[in-house]
Amino acid sequence: MSSPSGSVEAARTAAIVPAYNEEKTIGGIVRALKGARGVDEVIVVDDGSGDRTADEARAAGADQVLRLAENIGKGGALRRGVSATSAGLLFFCDADFIGLTLAHVERLLLPVREGRLAMCVGERDRGPALAWLIARLPHISGERALRREVFEGVPARFLRRFRVEIALEYSCKVNRLACGGIPTIGITHVRKMQKIGFFRGLAAYAAMIWQIAEAFVLVRLAKKEFIIPHAA
């Protein structure tokens, strides 16, 4: 995947936010990202929204707002966002978070900017009873900082819908790139049932779980495709 300029600016960080009908929350997300130390540009990918998501993102100060004519899913939207920047470090963030702060963003970015990790993922706050378990599960959260090479090492067919999180973690594993997580206390999100109703929301969750489970199997069958030359 090539950048617009044909080169990668290793020291720059681009925050990329895939958004589908998130006019109520996108403004707060953009403002938190714009205010965070270490974030050089904020790119919102409006994934075929039918509301004012793009307008609210611009009003909040997003550096780029890419409007897609139709909904292509999370993985595809992230790919569009990455192709619009030459930054060497990336920060992915869901558009429906509530409570995201500058401190959350900066804590996730720091280990990657310092070179200690190739990818650092936010571990969702589910309370102390589940904290131990969440820390040991695969990192599928929507907020993560990563080196560009991790994303570009994922075969294009895995940059679809909700396969992308599993594929990113597997890219690190196969190439022995350090990956870790940090608890993101205080962040919640708008649930699908609140957005589209109970039954449609339930169906959407079922589809998401199926895609994640499917990705667990498929990435392992495609191990050789994930190998990044000279990864370190």
Q: Look-up: residue for tokens 């930054």?
A: 87
Q: Cα separation of 102 and 41, whole Å?
A: 14
The CATH number of the structural domain formed by 9-226 is 3.90.550.10
State how far the Cα of 121 lies from the Cα of 131, in Å rounded to an integer. 14
Question: C-alpha 118: how far from its chain's center?
Answer: 14
What is the reported pLDDT for 184?
Answer: 83
Percentages (nearest 5) of helix, strand, coil residues in the chain: 45, 20, 35
Break the chain into its structural domains and give their ranges.
9-226
Measure the CA–CA gap between 1 and 84, rounded to whole angstroms: 11
Per residue in 114-144, pLDDT (tens digit) is 999 999 999 866 555 545 444 555 556 779 9
Most confident of 3-7, 97-101, 117-121, 163-167: 117-121
Instruction: Name, in order, each residue with C-beta under 8 angstroms of 129's C-beta and a sequence gap of 6 or more.
Output: none
HSE-CB for 17 with a 13 A CA cutoff? 38
Q: Which residue's structure tokens are 């280990």?
A: 111
Round to whole Å and give the CA distance between 128 and 197.
29
User: Which residue would you say has higher pLDDT here, 29 or 132?
Assistant: 29
* Stretch among 3-12, 146-155, 167-176 having the lowest mean pLDDT: 3-12
The helix/strand/coil state of 167 is helix
pLDDT, residue 229, reads: 76
pTM: 0.82
> What is the radius of gyration, based on Cα positions, of the chain?
17
Strands (DSSP E) found in 48-152: 64-68, 87-92, 97-98, 119-124, 144-147
If DSSP codes are grouped into helix, strand and coil, which group holds residue 13?
strand
Using DSSP's 3-state secondary structure scheme, residue 46 falls into strand
